């Protein structure tokens, strides 16, 4: 909760309501202290325990803990067989690590558009790109599709998996923002050939920094474990060129506690989202509120609205600036689609027009939804959004 001061009988905030706020307490502190006292600080028994519990939570046979969500993506792609000359198909509207992981293993990238209701990969755009590339690009390449469960809402996986099966594509879920989300009753992370999670401090659960691969493919998991530790099959027996992508026991100890609290955290996020959806409903269509599809369980890593710039006399960035002036922190995830990023333009990636990705990048704005919000915080967020919408109404 933000600090309050009293001025003229009315509470005035000294600090803005933060867009994200990790919740770490005495139990996490005790878990870390136990690791410090044990002397086993690097990857050890706590990492193994975390891997077992996270695999069970997701509903997979294997979990491979890593140093970050980005290294999880890189290891998953390389362990699935992607390398130089191969291809990864990625939604353009996501964090850049999703695509960069493919470049790091030497693969090329093709960008597809999103569904504006879920902000996730549009299966129709995927099918169009696959058909476009099929005859001249796909074979004999290994090709991976990386659907991103953005903001905590699942991608529509059934049609994506059908396209992948028809064209012999590997599916690696990017679940960095979707811990505990569900698709048709199944946990995200258990649907593709493998999935990758991030435990960065702002995620729905954290290890401080870290990531994980979940999969039912024993060979993929075995290779990922080997690659994360210098390609080591046995002690000092290095059979591949690997990396140091290991998670520490300190991080895993935090993660074990956080995992046991995850469903509580997610329910508080969902409760906050329900409050916003009810209280802000009258502002549509001046702003557009997020959607939860009937087949989805949304875990609201972000509560992302879209600013209808045609109906309001402001840009999205002007709206954000005004909201911050009211004491509510907010963020743009993400202001530039990947196919417009300089690093990809310099490399010669010239995607076809992806209008939904570009529309989202121009209009999205995330407001605080994290489980640390108080009822007063939520009310203040709603009042601030209402005030800014009113100020910019034509």
Tens digit of each residue's pLDDT (9 = 90 or more) over 309-331? 999 999 999 999 999 999 999 99
Tens digit of each residue's pLDDT (9 = 90 or more) over 138-181? 666 889 999 999 999 999 999 999 999 999 999 999 999 999 99
DSSP string, 252-281: HHHHHHHHHHHHHHHHHHHHHHHHHHHHTG
pLDDT at 134: 77
- Locate the DSSP E strands across the chain: 4-7, 10-13, 62-66, 87-91, 108-112, 143-145, 170-174, 182-183, 186-187, 194-198, 211-215, 232-234, 237-238, 287-288, 296-297, 303-307, 364-367
What mean pLDDT do residues 11-36 have? 89
- Predicted confidence band at 254 (pLDDT cuts at 50, 70, 90)? very high
pLDDT at 137: 64
pLDDT at 179: 98
Percent of the chain exceeding pLDDT 70 equals: 94
309-313, Cβ contacts within 8 angstroms, sequence gap of 24 or more: 309/362, 309/363, 311/285, 311/286, 311/393, 311/394, 312/286, 312/389, 312/392, 312/393, 312/394, 313/392, 313/393, 313/394
For residues 100 and 43, the model is more confident at 100
pLDDT at 41: 84
pLDDT at 200: 97
Domains 26-258 and 263-392 agree in fold: no
DSSP string, 80-130: TT--TT-EEEEESSS-THHHHHHHHTT-EEEEE-B-TTT-SB-HHHHHHHH
Percent of the chain exceeding pLDDT 90 equals: 88
Lowest mean pLDDT among 281-290, 346-355, 371-380: 346-355
Distance, in Å, from the CA atom of 66 to the CA atom of 69, rounded to the nearest integer, reads: 7
pLDDT at 6: 37
- Predicted confidence band at 8 (pLDDT cuts at 50, 70, 90)? very low
Output the six-digit token pair for 335.
């202001």
pLDDT at 240: 92
pLDDT of 1 over the 70 cut: no
Residues in Cβ contact with 103 at an 8 Å cutoff, skipping those fewer than 6 apart? 109, 347
Lowest mean pLDDT among 7-16, 50-59, 230-239: 7-16
Please, what is the end-to-end C-alpha distance for the chain in angstroms? 34
Largest CA distance in the chain: 72
Q: What is 263-392's CATH number? A: 3.90.1150.10
Tens digit of each residue's pLDDT (9 = 90 or more) over 111-144? 999 999 999 999 999 999 998 887 666 666 889 9
Tens digit of each residue's pLDDT (9 = 90 or more) over 67-94? 999 999 999 999 999 999 999 999 999 9
pLDDT of 13 over the 90 cut: no
pLDDT of 394 over the 80 cut: no
What mean pLDDT do residues 362-380 have? 98
pLDDT of 263 over the 50 cut: yes
Tens digit of each residue's pLDDT (9 = 90 or more) over 184-205? 999 999 999 999 999 999 999 9
Q: Where are the domains of the chain?
A: 26-258, 263-392
Tens digit of each residue's pLDDT (9 = 90 or more) over 193-247? 999 999 999 999 999 999 999 999 999 999 999 999 999 988 888 999 999 999 9
What mean pLDDT do residues 269-283 have? 98
Q: Is 26-258 CATH 3.40.50.720?
A: no
- Predicted confidence band at 293 (pLDDT cuts at 50, 70, 90)? very high
């Amino acid at each position: 909760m933000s600090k309050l001061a009293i001025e003229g009988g009315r509470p005035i905030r000294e600090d803005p309501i933060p867009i994200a706020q990790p919740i770490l307490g005495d139990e996490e502190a005790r878990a870390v202290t136990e690791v410090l006292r044990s002397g086993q600080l690097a990857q050890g028994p706590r990492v193994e325990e975390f891997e077992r519990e996270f695999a069970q939570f997701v509903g997979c046979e294997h979990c491979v803990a890593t140093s970050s969500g980005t290294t999880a993506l890189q290891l998953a792609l390389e362990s699935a067989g992607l390398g130089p000359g191969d291809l990864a198909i990625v939604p353009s509207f996501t964090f850049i690590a999703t695509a960069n992981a493919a470049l790091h293993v030497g693969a090329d990238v093709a960008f597809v558009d999103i569904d504006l209701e879920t902000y996730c990969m549009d299966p129709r755009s995927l099918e169009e790109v696959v058909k476009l590339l099929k005859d001249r690009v796909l074979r004999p390449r290994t090709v991976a599709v990386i659907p991103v469960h953005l903001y905590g809402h699942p991608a529509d996986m059934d049609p994506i998996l059908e396209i992948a099966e028809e064209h012999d594509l590997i599916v690696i879920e990017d679940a960095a923002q979707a811990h505990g989300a569900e698709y048709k009753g199944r946990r995200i992370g258990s649907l593709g050939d493998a999935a990758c999670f991030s435990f960065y401090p702002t995620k729905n659960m954290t290890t401080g920094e870290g990531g994980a691969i979940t999969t039912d493919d024993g060979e993929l998991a075995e290779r990922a474990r080997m690659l994360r530790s210098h390609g080591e099959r046995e002690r000092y027996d290095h059979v591949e060129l690997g990396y140091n992508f290991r998670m520490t026991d300190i991080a895993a100890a935090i993660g074990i506690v956080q995992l046991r609290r995850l469903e509580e955290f997610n329910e508080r996020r969902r409760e906050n989202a329900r409050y916003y959806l009810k209280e802000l409903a009258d502002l549509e269509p001046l702003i557009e509120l997020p959607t939860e599809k009937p087949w989805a369980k949304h875990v609201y890593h972000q509560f992302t609205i879209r600013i209808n710039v045609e109906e309001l006399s402001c840009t999205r960035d002007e709206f954000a600036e005004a909201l911050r002036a009211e004491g509510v922190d907010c963020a743009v995830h993400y202001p530039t689609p990947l196919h417009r990023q300089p690093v990809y333009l310099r490399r010669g990636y010239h995607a076809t027009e992806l209008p939904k990705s570009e529309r989202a990048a121009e209009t999205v704005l995330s407001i605080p939804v994290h489980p640390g919000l108080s009822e007063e915080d939520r009310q203040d967020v709603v009042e601030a959004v209402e005030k800014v919408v009113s100020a910019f109404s034509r």
